[in-house]
């Protein structure tokens, strides 16, 4: 750990400062790009069983690219998802392993966030479980992340207000800093159809540390950030980590121009100019995307220092 220290306290301080923080990029699609076969139900959790060294290298590559927030590979380590592969009893173990790998890669140079994802498919709001299941299962997942030693919890890719609320409440109960991110359509609505503004206002009122959108095609992000800017103002940090493409109704992936890191950075420059203080990448992004975002933020900081 370096002299400033990377822990829950310093993360909370960073989020309440005026600093712009750089997140990492995709894990699942990067594992696929490096030839690891990922299938349901485990998806990215497969790497914890079969390719831990590859996962560690991906984390290290994001650190080398300049990421300050590294997201542990816990997107699919909640017990419900693991149960489909007969691995539910290993939920706490695999969550801890994922956080430990991220911590090892960070090497005292970044904060480690635990991912707290939807219990079901992030693109299928119709499959969100009943309230009792949400409360109990997100409570257990949040406790696993706390026990694993995460510096904060990233409640990410949530497609309904009710699950985002349940996950955020469970995460907040740990006492760790909590960042909440929604997945939206081009009309500034969650995939459930609920307005992003309503979801952001209700979750922000719980006392979370930041709001974001993710898993949204980069060309759609600007409209979503307009909503977050209005809700958060200058007091709560907000931002985005976008996709380089989008799936169609049959689940087939279609790239956008954001597949090119330089073009992704052009989109991100607009988010930064609007006031975003958290930037990173989601599906399709690579360490090169993060490296070029780091260069953008460094130029932006120098420009600010000279004005």
Closest by CA to 88, choosing from 37, 137, 53, is 137
Query: Residues 105-151: pLDDT tens digits?
Result: 999 999 999 999 999 999 999 999 999 999 999 999 999 999 999 99
Question: Domain tally for the chain?
Answer: 1
At 2 the pLDDT is 38
Strand duo 253-255 + 245-247: pairing? antiparallel
Q: Are 175 and 12 in contact (CB under 8 A)?
A: no
User: Which secondary-structure segment (H or E) carries 70?
Assistant: strand 69-71
Q: Which residues contact 143 (CB under 8 A, 6 or more apart)?
A: 174
> Is residue 2 assigned to a domain?
no
Q: How many other C-beta atoms can be found within 10 angstroms of the C-beta atom of residue 270?
A: 13
Structure token pair of residue 305? 């220092």
- pTM for the model: 0.96
- Grouping H, G, I as helix, E, B as strand and the rest as coil, residue 110 is coil
10 Å CB burial of residue 150 (0-12, 13-18, 19+) is buried
Strand duo 278-281 + 238-243: pairing? parallel
> Is residue 26 assigned to a domain?
yes
Question: What is the DSSP-derived secondary structure letter of residue 59?
Answer: H
Query: Residues 12-56: pLDDT tens digits?
Result: 999 999 999 999 999 999 999 999 999 988 999 999 999 999 999
pLDDT band at 191 (very low <50, low <70, confident <90, very high): very high
Structure token pair of residue 63? 């650190």
Q: How many other C-beta atoms can be found within 10 angstroms of the C-beta atom of residue 290?
A: 28
Question: Domain holding 181: CATH number?
Answer: 3.20.20.330
pLDDT band at 282 (very low <50, low <70, confident <90, very high): very high
> Is residue 225 assigned to a domain?
yes
If you write DSSP's letter for every residue of 233-281 in order, what string do you get? TTTS-EEEEEESEEE-TTS-EEE-GGGSHHHHHHHHHHHHHHT--EEEE
> Is residue 1 assigned to a domain?
no
> Is residue 3 assigned to a domain?
no
Tell me the angle at which helices 261-274 and 287-305 cross, rounded to the nearest 10 degrees. 40
- Give residue 289's domain range: 8-305
């Amino acid at each position: 750990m370096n002299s400033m220290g990377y822990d829950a306290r310093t993360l909370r301080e960073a989020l309440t400062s005026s600093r712009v923080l750089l997140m990492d990029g995709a894990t699942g699609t990067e594992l696929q790009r490096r030839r690891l076969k990922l299938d349901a139900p485990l998806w990215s959790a497969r790497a914890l069983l079969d390719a831990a060294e590859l996962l560690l290298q991906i984390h290290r590559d994001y650190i080398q690219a300049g990421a300050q927030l590294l997201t542990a590979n816990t997107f699919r380590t909640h017990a419900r998802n693991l149960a489909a592969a007969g691995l539910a009893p290993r939920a706490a173990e695999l969550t801890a392993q994922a956080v430990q790998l991220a911590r090892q890669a960070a090497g005292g140079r970044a904060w480690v966030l635990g991912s707290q994802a939807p219990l079901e498919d992030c693109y299928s709001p119709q499959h969100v479980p009943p309230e009792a299941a949400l409360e109990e299962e997100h409570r257990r997942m949040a406790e696993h992340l706390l026990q694993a030693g995460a510096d904060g919890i990233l409640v990410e890719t949530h497609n309904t207000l009710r699950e985002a609320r349940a996950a955020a409440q469970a995460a907040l109960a740990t006492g760790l800093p909590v960042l909440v991110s929604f997945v939206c359509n081009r009309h500034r609505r969650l995939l459930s159809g609920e307005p992003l503004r309503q979801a952001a206002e209700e979750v922000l009122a719980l006392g979370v540390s930041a709001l974001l959108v993710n898993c949204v095609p980069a060309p759609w992000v600007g409209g979503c950030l307009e909503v977050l800017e209005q809700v958060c103002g200058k007091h709560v940090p907000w931002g985005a980590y976008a996709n380089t493409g989008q799936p169609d109704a049959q689940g087939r992936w279609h790239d956008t121009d954001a597949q090119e890191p330089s073009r992704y950075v052009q989109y991100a420059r607009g988010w930064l100019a609007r006031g975003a203080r958290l930037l990173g990448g989601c599906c399709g992004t690579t360490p090169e995307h993060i490296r070029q975002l780091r260069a953008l933020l460094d130029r932006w900081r120098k420009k600010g220092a000279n004005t």
